[in-house]
């Protein structure tokens, strides 16, 4: 059976095009678009402009950099398939998390290089490389058939890594502009190249900062040690009390709204096993950890967590400094699952921490960012179309998985636009996103484009059958 996608796939596979696609991606990756660092605001905008330029060149009818209260959204649309054809909304993000050579990178994080078939750069897999797949898939249609089988809209934001504070209002204000039948997102991963996966669930987020204040300034530990509650110790005591000995979270009410896993769900999760050996190989930890009532895969995807993301107090430079620090702080984040809400979890965490705070110090708890968890049924036709796209475009049947990470906007799109969100992740679990030496498989990038091409066709067929 020949189809319009065959020509587009040949175009994407042609060596000259494949090399040019990579060259363009490298240009994109060289821009340090750190959304969380005000010093990089101009770089974030530069990334938006670069992306808009690339989209304009491939023949989109309308490309705009649209302002928000924070970093801009890049919007693009090709509606040439006509109003009787379905419209797919591609969501992605062009911003990245911080990266510095001294964090342990082997090569500078914003100078992409290919080693052993992998692209090393911050943002290579999260999400510049993955979002670029959809742009190049549309290009492949437009440069061969001069049309794609469905209408395509792009909504590429610049604030995903700071939990998208302005995207929900943006969507609410532009529901007509963004109107679509299905949303596709590539910002997740598969366990291995031969096991593609569609993510139908994501964890939410409640990210807080705790600061403990003791003396008005650092004290000489010889003069006051023994009579002053060391703020670092007070912090240690508070944080320690947030966990039970069985590694569950000791915050009253924390688990109250968690939807229990059914035996069927647990069986599906078990198909995508995460063994202790795998976990140790990927992460380098000496042993697994966590709530023994759940498998490792359940712990990292279907159960809520509380992690310490940062800790600071006093002197961390070389040599000794004999002080009682004036203050101590921590960043803590909870990954949430359906039906927990970040508002309630923040309230519970804050109340618990304040209840634990002794009268010898003063404790502050602040919410930094939050996001809802998402749980999308996997029997929807748009989900099943994605299964066929993988079978034809990738060459393997995908499994449905729960993602452990958070793309807060997924829950928002699902709720606000009332359309299915299909997460076709073209990353690998060990791409090292958010870590030093983040990397992305060149083969993944190329096969991803082909699968994305086929998915547009499968969506068109689906609607024709409907």
User: According to the binding rule CB under 8 A, does residue 291 interact with a second copy?
Assistant: yes
Residue 288 touching a second copy (CB under 8 A): yes
Binding mask 383-422 for a second copy (x = CB under 8 A): --------------------xxxx----------------
Q: What's the DSSP call for residue 257?
A: T
| Residue number, 52 or 338, with CB nearest to a second copy | 338
Residue 160 annotated in active site: yes
Q: Residues 138-157 vs a second copy: string with x where CB under 8 A?
A: --------------------
131 binds a second copy (CB under 8 A): no
CB of 34 to a second copy, least distance (A): 9
* Residue from 220, 271, 366, 464 binding a second copy (CB under 8 A): 220
Say how far apart CA 304 and CA 297 lie, in whole Å: 12
Residue 199 in the binding site for a second copy (CB under 8 A): no
Size of interface with a second copy, in residues (CB under 8 A): 98
The H-or-E segment that residue 251 falls in is none
Rounded CA separation 333/37 (Å): 19
Which CB sits closer to a second copy, 151 or 301? 301
- Rounded distance, CA 124 to CA 363, Å? 39
Phi first, then psi: what are they for 219, rounded to 5°?
Answer: -110, 155
**Binds a second copy (CB under 8 A): choice among 145, 435, 446, 461:** 435
308 is a site residue for a second copy (CB under 8 A):
yes
If binding is defined by CB under 8 A, does position 20 make contact with a second copy?
no
Range 34-73, binding a second copy (CB under 8 A)? 36-38
* Measured torsion, CA atoms of residues 163, 266, 282, 374, in degrees rounded to the nearest 10: -10
Q: Is position 311 an interface residue for a second copy (rule: CB under 8 A)?
A: yes
In the bound complex, what is the minimum distance in angstroms from residue 58's beta carbon to a second copy? 31
The answer to whether the Cα torsion of 129, 131, 132, 138 is positive or negative is positive
Task: Give the DSSP H or E segment for 214.
Answer: none
**Rounded Cα–Cα distance for residues 137 and 9 (Å):** 8
CB count within 10 Å of CB 42 equals: 9
Take residue 368 and report the two structure tokens written for it.
Answer: 């930094």
Q: Which stretch binds a second copy (CB under 8 A): 107-115, 177-185, 209-217, 382-390?
A: 209-217
CB of 37: closest distance to a second copy in angstroms? 7
224 near a second copy (CB under 8 A)? yes
Smallest gap from Cβ 80 to a second copy, in A, equals: 37
195 is an interface residue for a second copy by CB under 8 A: no
- Within 313-342, the residues that bind a second copy by CB under 8 A are 313-326, 328-331, 333, 335
Q: Each residue of 166-198: b (16+ CB within 10 Å) or e?
A: bbbebbeeeeeebebbbbbbbbbbbbeeebbbb
Phi first, then psi, for residue 399 (nearest 5°) are -105, 155
Tell which phi-psi region holds residue 290, choosing left (phi > 0), alpha (psi between -120 and 50) or beta.
left
Q: Is 240 in the site for a second copy (CB under 8 A)?
A: yes
Distance between CA atoms of residues 196 and 443, nearest Å: 13
Q: Which one of the spans 15-23, 51-59, 172-180, 425-433 is the region binding a second copy (CB under 8 A)?
A: 425-433
Nearest residue (CB) to a second copy, 57 versus 321? 321
d(CA 72, CA 268): 39
Given the residues 126, 139, 157, 160, the one annotated as active site: 160
- Rule CB under 8 A: say whether 434 interacts with a second copy: yes
Closest CA to 158 of 66, 260, 253, 264: 66
Using DSSP's 3-state secondary structure scheme, residue 254 falls into coil
18 binds a second copy (CB under 8 A): no
265 binds a second copy (CB under 8 A): no
Q: Residue 93: how many CB atoms within 10 A of its CB? A: 29
3-state SS, residue 95 = coil
Q: Does 226 bind a second copy (CB under 8 A)?
A: yes
Least distance from C-beta 298 to a second copy, angstroms? 8
Q: Report the nearest approach of a second copy to the CB of residue 233 (Å).
A: 5
Q: Measuring CA to CA, which residue among 342, 462, 337, 455 is closest to residue 8?
A: 455
Catalytic positions = 95, 160
């Amino acid at each position: 059976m020949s189809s319009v996608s065959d020509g587009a796939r040949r175009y994407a596979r042609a060596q000259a095009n494949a090399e040019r696609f990579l060259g363009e991606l490298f240009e994109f990756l060289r821009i340090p678009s750190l959304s969380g660092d005000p010093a990089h605001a101009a770089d974030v905008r530069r990334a938006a402009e670069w992306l808009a330029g690339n989209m304009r060149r491939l023949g989109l009818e309308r490309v705009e950099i649209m302002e928000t209260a924070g970093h801009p959204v890049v919007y693009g649309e090709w509606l040439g398939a006509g109003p009787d054809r379905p419209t797919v909304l591609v969501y992605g993000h062009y911003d990245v998390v911080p990266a510095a050579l001294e964090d342990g990178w082997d090569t500078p994080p914003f100078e992409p290089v290919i080693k052993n078939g992998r692209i090393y750069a911050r943002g290579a897999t999260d999400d510049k490389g993955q979002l670029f797949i959809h742009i190049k898939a549309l290009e492949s249609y437009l440069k061969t058939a001069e049309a794609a089988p469905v209408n395509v809209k792009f909504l590429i934001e610049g604030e995903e890594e700071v939990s998208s504070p302005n995207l929900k209002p943006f969507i609410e204000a532009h529901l007509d502009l963004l109107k679509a039948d299905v949303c596709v997102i590539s910002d997740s991963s598969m366990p291995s190249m031969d096991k593609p996966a569609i993510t139908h669930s994501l964890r939410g987020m409640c990210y807080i900062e705790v600061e403990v204040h003791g003396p008005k300034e650092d004290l000489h530990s010889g003069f006051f040690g023994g009579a002053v509650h060391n703020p670092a110790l007070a912090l240690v005591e508070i944080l320690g009390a947030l966990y039970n000995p069985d590694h569950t979270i000791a915050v009253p009410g924390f688990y109250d709204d968690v939807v229990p896993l059914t035996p069927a769900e647990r069986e599906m999760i078990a198909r995508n096993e995460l063994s202790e050996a795998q976990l140790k190989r990927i992460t380098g930890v000496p042993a697994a950890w966590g709530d023994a009532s759940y498998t490792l895969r359940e712990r990292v995807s279907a159960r809520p967590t509380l992690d310490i993301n940062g800790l600071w107090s006093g002197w961390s430079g070389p040599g000794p400094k004999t002080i009682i620090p004036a203050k101590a702080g921590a960043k803590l984040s909870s990954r949430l699952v359906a039906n927990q809400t970040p508002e309630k979890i923040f309230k519970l965490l804050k109340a618990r921490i304040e209840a634990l705070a002794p009268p010898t110090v003063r404790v502050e708890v602040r919410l930094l960012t939050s996001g809802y968890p998402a749980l999308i049924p996997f029997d929807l036709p748009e989900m099943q179309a994605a299964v066929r796209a993988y079978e034809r475009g990738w060459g393997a049947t995908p499994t449905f998985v729960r993602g452990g990470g958070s793309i807060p906007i997924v829950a928002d799109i699902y709720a606000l636009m009332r359309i299915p969100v299909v997460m076709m992740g073209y990353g690998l679990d060990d791409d090292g996103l958010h870590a030093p030496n983040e990397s992305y498989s060149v083969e993944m990038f190329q096969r991803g484009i082909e699968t994305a091409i086929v998915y547009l066709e499968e969506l068109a067929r689906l609607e024709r059958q409907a």
